[in-house]
Amino acid sequence: MTKREMMTINMGPQHPATHGVLRIELDLEGESIIDARPIIGYLHTGIEKTMEAKTYTQALTLTDRMDYLAPMSNNLVYVGAIEKLMEVEVPPRAEYIRVIMTELTRIASHLVWLGTHAIDIGAMSMLLYCFREREKILQMYEFVSGVRMMSSYFRVGGLAQDIPAGFDKRVKDILDTFPAKIEEYEGLLTNNRIWLNRTVGVGVISAEDAIDAGLSGPSLRGSGVAWDIRKSNPYSYYDKFKFDVPTGVKGDVFDRYKVRLEEMRQSLRIVAQAVGGIPEGPHTTTDKKISLPPKSETLQGMEQLIHHFKIVVHGFTPPKGDVYFAIESPKGEIGCYIVSDGTKKPYRVHFRPPSFVNISALPKLVKGRMVADVVACIGSIDIVLGEIDR
């Protein structure tokens, strides 16, 4: 006489397919899942409290470490929130370059997503191909800022330094070679029988459930809701560029995969429009209390030297108040809530991470499916543990 019992199994913090230190408790009956409970907090860093002890520009370097696959997106949301609070005018040259670097960041993040998602499902060579393309974008990061990943290139009022000569040529090289690579990935996966068997109909979530659960970004667009913050509340000159927002139909893993592939193509389209016409001008705002003066003037003029000293040692002081500013990061809506009390250090900084809200919808996606589908669903939501735990 056999008895059926429910078994609780732990997909522990160290696991090859959980994309970091995520722990999931699965209640199983045989191989089918009754409930799944994600447990987070194994990478909690206390970034928000550490930022309260540093000046605004020092705290910017900590924002790179949250979503470490798309570091410039985090920089942009933090800098954008302070600029909204202080009503700073950013020059057009800086805005164009910010758009180019943010879209390249989006492509880099989607490449890591594709590589790790495919290797979890079984297509091992995709990881090597995607990381090969990502090297080109990391070389662009190094070209403008000197650092491969954590660049902190954006500053309040514009950029840290101007782009060197030869930037146009390198970006155009990437634009020439990339579309063929995306075709290569599609040819490997989209009509592949194994891929279709493992992704079509898996992890379905309807549009109402997705909005109720707070999903945003490609995870929400895969279910058919056409909401992209770059179109609905444009920031940083996105309303000047033409691009489409791809949506899915059913809301399964395959739809989210198609949405992200198409987003890579649209990002290339935006970069092509932007790199053709970068305007001349200063790379940072002309407000002397916020941005550093050019080095040649600092070495010769007394007033510029004093400004340089005050900005570096003391920093700028925004007015009192609090704002919330959100942008479209590769994973969804990332928001930054800043409270300022009129001093040089932020009083309270909070980031609304898209992965934190997206992973809380995991139980809805996997109920009733089998254990192997958990891996596919985690991959399709595209989480980054650094952002979830902050």
Partner 1 sequence: MGLEKYIPDGIILTTVEKAINWSRKSSLWPLGFGLACCAIEMMSTFAARFDLARFGMEVMRPSPRQADLMIVSGRLSVRMAPVIRQLYDQMPNPKYVISMGACASCGGVFNNYAIVQGVDRVIPVDVYVPGCPPRPEQLIDGIMKLREKIEKEKLKSVE
Partner 2 sequence: MASVVEEKLKKEYSDKILELFSFKGDVNIVVKPGDIQEICRFLKTEPDLKFNFLSCITAADYLGQRDIRFEVVYVLFSIPNHYRVIVKTRVDEGQEIPTLTSLWSTADWQEREVYDMFGIGFSGHPDLKRILMDDDWIGYPQRKDFPLTYEVPHFSHNKGEIDTRKKEPWRGDSDD
Residues lying near partner 2 in the complex (CB under 8 A) are found at 40-41, 44, 46, 48-50, 52-53, 84-85, 87, 211-214, 216, 225, 227, 232-233, 321-324, 326, 333, 335, 337, 339, 341, 347-348, 350, 352, 356-357, 360-361, 389-390
Instruction: Name, in order, each residue with C-beta under 8 angstroms of 238's C-beta and a sequence gap of 6 or more.
Output: 99, 230, 231, 270
Nearer to partner 2, 139 or 232 (CB): 232
Q: Looking at residues 77 to 136 of the shown chain, list those that interact with partner 1 (rule: CB under 8 A).
A: 112, 127-129, 131-132, 134-135
**Cβ distance to partner 2 smaller for residue 71 or 353:** 353
Site map 241..280 versus partner 1, x via CB under 8 A: ----------------------------------------
In the bound state with partner 1, the residue whose beta carbon lies nearer, of 34 and 149, is 149
310, 316, 317, 321 alpha-carbon torsion, rounded to 10°: 180
Q: Which does 144 bind (CB under 5 to 8 A by kind): partner 2, partner 1, none?
A: none
Query: Cβ contacts of residue 305 below 8 Å, gap of 6+?
Result: 298, 299
CA pair distance 119, 94, nearest whole angstrom: 38
Q: What share of the chain is helix, strand, coil (3-state, %, to 5)?
A: 50, 15, 35
Smallest CA-to-CA distance from 108 within 127, 77, 130 is with 130
Tokens 């990391």 -> residue? 138
H runs (alpha helix) in 87-124:
92-121
Q: Which of 10, 32, 49, 279 binds partner 1 (CB under 8 A)?
A: 49
Cα 235 from Cα 372, distance rounded (Å) = 40
Q: Among partner 1, partner 2, none, what does residue 181 contact (CB within 5–8 Å per kind)?
A: none
Residue 143 binds: one of partner 1, partner 2, none (C-beta under 5 to 8 A by kind): none
Per rule CB under 8 A, is residue 15 in the interface with partner 1?
yes
DSSP code of residue 241: S
Residue 296: CB minimum distance to partner 1, A: 30
Q: Is 359 in the site for partner 1 (CB under 8 A)?
A: no
**Long-range Cβ contacts of 291-298 (<8 Å, 24+ apart):** 291/155, 291/156, 291/157, 291/158
Comparing C-alpha atoms, which of 52, 42, 22 is closest to residue 390? 42
Does 69 interact with partner 1 (rule: CB under 8 A)? yes
Question: What is the pattern of x (binds partner 1, CB under 8 A) and - over residues 141-180?
Answer: -------xxx------------------------------
167 binds, among partner 1, partner 2, none (CB under 5 to 8 A by kind): none
70 binds partner 1 (CB under 8 A): no
